[in-house]
Amino acid sequence: KAGVTQTPRYLIKTRGQQVTLSCSPISGHRSVSWYQQTPGQGLQFLFEYFSETQRNKGNFPGRFSGRQFSNSRSEMNVSTLELGDSALYLCASRSDRVDNEQFFGPGTRLTVL
C-alpha cells in the first residue's frame, strides 16, 4: 500500500507571496492532518480535515488555510508569507478505525526569503 505523498518536496518563496502544498493520503484514509515543524517550536498541529470538513484547528493565524477534496486529497495554503513561515510542513493520514494511528508523509520544506 502506498504511503502518504506530498508535493512539492521543496519550495522557495519570497515574503508576501502565497503558497499551496498538496497531500495525498493513504488509500482509504479519509482523515488528513497538517503539522508545521520548526527547530524552535517543534511539531505543531495546524488543522485536520475529515470527509472534506475541517474538524480541528490549531493556533495558527488565518493566513493558514486548507481544504480537502472528495478523493481525500488535501491542500494547505499560506498567504502573505513571512520569514517565520519557513518550516517543514508535514501531512498525516489516519484511517476511520478508532485507532488514532497517524502516518506521516515526507513533508514539504518551505523556505521563505
Partner 1 sequence: GENVEQHPSTLSVQEGDSAVIKCTYSDSASNYFPWYKQELGKGPQLIIDIRSNVGEKKDQRIAVTLNKTAKHFSLHITETQPEDSAVYFCAASLPWGNEKLTFGTGTRLTIIP
Residues that bind partner 1 (CB under 8 A): 4, 31, 33, 35, 42-45, 48, 55-56, 58, 90, 92, 94, 98, 100-107
Distance CA 39, CA 21 (A): 20
**Is the CB of 52 or the CB of 101 nearer to partner 1?**
101
**Residue 98 Cβ vs partner 1, minimum distance, rounded to whole Å:** 5
- Tell me whether the omega of the peptide bond preceding residue 8 falls within 30 degrees of 0, making it cis: yes
**Residue 43 Cβ vs partner 1, minimum distance, rounded to whole Å:** 4
**Is the CB of 13 or the CB of 109 nearer to partner 1?**
109
**Is the CB of 20 or the CB of 50 nearer to partner 1?**
50
Distance CA 2, CA 66 (A): 23
**Residue 66 Cβ vs partner 1, minimum distance, rounded to whole Å:** 13
Q: What are phi and psi of 84, to 5 degrees?
A: -70, -5
**Residue 107 Cβ vs partner 1, minimum distance, rounded to whole Å:** 5
3-state secondary structure of 18: coil
Under a CB-based contact definition with an 8 Å cutoff, are residues 88 and 108 in contact? yes
